[in-house]
A and B are shown apart, each in its own frame.
Chain A
Amino acid sequence: ETGVTQSPTHLIKTRGQQVTLRCSSQSGHNTVSWYQQALGQGPQFIFQYYREEENGRGNFPPRFSGLQFPNYSSELNVNALELDDSALYLCASSWGGTGRPGELFFGEGSRLTVL
């Protein structure tokens, strides 16, 4: 148990649809980062939020967007879904100052299937 919860755990969408994934960070953590993990691959960094501001982004198109709320929970939104977006989406929370990563605590992930 890491104290990081993600919802939904599994979902199925069709091409062109939009999806919102949610993450509740561990108590006391102010930084949330999102990762995409395709089957058989390591996680790929999508973006990171520190105190409600995006402070780092990986090589993902603008249709991947996010939010962090005052309670430090977070959302990942993906518009115009493509088949290649099918993956496990992981959220990790940490205590970070100026974006420096502390130990990451991962949720169990949201498994997205795009048909």
Chain B
Amino acid sequence: TQLLEQSPQFLSIQEGENLTVYCNSSSVFSSLQWYRQEPGEGPVLLVTVVTGGEVKKLKRLTFQFGDARKDSSLHITAAQPGDTGLYLCAGVNSNYQLIWGAGTKLIIKP
């Protein structure tokens, strides 16, 4: 069974601080996606990383795919209250199915 472990499960920090969320697996994925989900809404895709070692930036968010395509990280610089939400990673396996992590609930306090 393929699993994606996300850590931390919960993070509450002050506005302006930096943070990193991790997504780890023993399985190789063809690509990995990061989503953000607000209460009462479905997940919204932030980014897809495809190549081992790939780094993508989305304003203050930096996404990295591990060299072996088994893990990924999301780093937020100078977090703002608007970054509050549930962050989910999902790996695309060889059957083109998404394997989801359990999510990181992030709260940024003003």
Q: Given known contacts A42-B101, A42-B102, A103-B48, is B96 in contact with A92 (CB within 8 Å)?
A: no
Assembly CA distance A30 to B99 (angstroms)? 21
Are A42's CB and B88's CB within 8 A? Answer: yes
Nearest A residue (CB) for B88: A42
CB-defined A-B contacts under 8 Å, sample of 18: A33-B98, A40-B102, A41-B103, A42-B102, A43-B100, A44-B100, A45-B98, A45-B100, A48-B97, A90-B43, A99-B96, A101-B97, A101-B98, A107-B42, A108-B42, A109-B40, A109-B41, A109-B42
Assembly CA distance A78 to B48 (angstroms)? 32
Asked whether any CB of chain A lies closer than 8 Å to the CB of B68, the reply is: no
Assembly CA distance A103 to B92 (angstroms)? 11
Are B42's CB and A100's CB within 8 A? Answer: no
**Chain A interface (Cβ < 8 Å from any Cβ of B):** 2, 4, 33, 35, 40-45, 48, 56, 58, 90, 92, 96, 99-101, 103-104, 106-109
Instruction: List A contacts of B103 (CB < 8 A).
Output: 40-42
Q: Within residues 23 to 66 of chain B, which ones have a CB less than 8 A from any CB in chain A?
A: 40-45, 48
Assembly CA distance A99 to B99 (angstroms)? 15
Closest Cβ–Cβ distance, residue A2 to chain B (whole Å): 7
Are B45's CB and A104's CB within 8 A? Answer: yes
Closest Cβ–Cβ distance, residue B85 to chain A (whole Å): 13
Assembly CA distance A58 to B102 (angstroms)? 16
Nearest B residue (CB) for A9: B40
Known: A90-B42, A108-B42. 19 other contacts (CB 8 A): A2-B44, A4-B42, A35-B100, A42-B103, A43-B90, A43-B98, A45-B99, A56-B95, A56-B96, A56-B97, A99-B96, A101-B92, A101-B97, A104-B45, A104-B98, A106-B41, A106-B43, A106-B44, A108-B40
Instruction: List A contacts of B102 (CB < 8 A).
Output: 40-42
